[in-house]
Amino acid sequence: MKVGIGYDVHQLVRERRLIIGGVEIPYEKGLLGHSDADVLVHAIMDSILGALGLGDIGKHFPDDDNQYKDISSLTLLERVYNIMLNSKYRIGNIDTIIIAERPRMAPYIESMKKNIAKVLNIPLSCINIKATTTEKLGFEGRGEGISAQSVCLLVPSGSKLE
């Protein structure tokens, strides 16, 4: 078994769509980034790559490469999934948290889980997504950005996980 941790943060700006977990969330601001800036999916990708000892998403999908401009992070997650399969591992489980003062994430979490589980070919029970505020503290609390953290457990392909 291998464990990886991922973290991502993006600034909230006007005139960008807010996409988290592959879900477009109605909000007056969106996340600034080279791709769709999906902090949750980026954190998940980093946790998988970290567990494999293969660096981070910046190494695999550099933000100065135009082929990744505005790309869906779910597309990138699928590429990370294939890297994981080629390394002979599979997801045991993923636990994540989105840190944002606004907007409320609760109405969108089930859709996020479905999007991610579909790409990673795992049951919904293998992914957990939580959301919290910072009680108006820090950049998230001031509404300047959103961050996400992820921990994943990878198990060798073919092994049983009880």
* Whole-prediction pTM: 0.95
Q: Calculate mean pLDDT across residues 9-33.
A: 96
pLDDT classification of 161: cutoffs 50, 70, 90: low
**CA nearest neighbour of 6 among 71, 76, 65, 108:** 76
Written out in words, the top-level CATH class of the domain with range 2-156 is alpha beta
Answer yes or no: is 158 a known binding residue: no
Answer yes or no: is 144 a known binding residue: no
Helix ranges (H only) for the chain are: 39-52, 57-60, 73-86, 109-120, 138-141
Answer yes or no: is 142 a known binding residue: yes
Answer yes or no: is 109 a known binding residue: no
pLDDT digits (tens, 9 = 90+) for 72-117: 999 999 999 999 999 999 999 999 999 999 999 999 999 999 999 9
Answer yes or no: is 102 a known binding residue: yes
Answer yes or no: is 9 a known binding residue: yes
Sorted by where each begins, the domain ranges of the chain are 2-156
CA distances from 100 to 36, 86, 129 (A): 17, 34, 13
Residues 93, 135: Cα–Cα separation, whole Å: 29
pLDDT digits (tens, 9 = 90+) for 52-79: 999 999 999 988 888 888 899 999 999 9
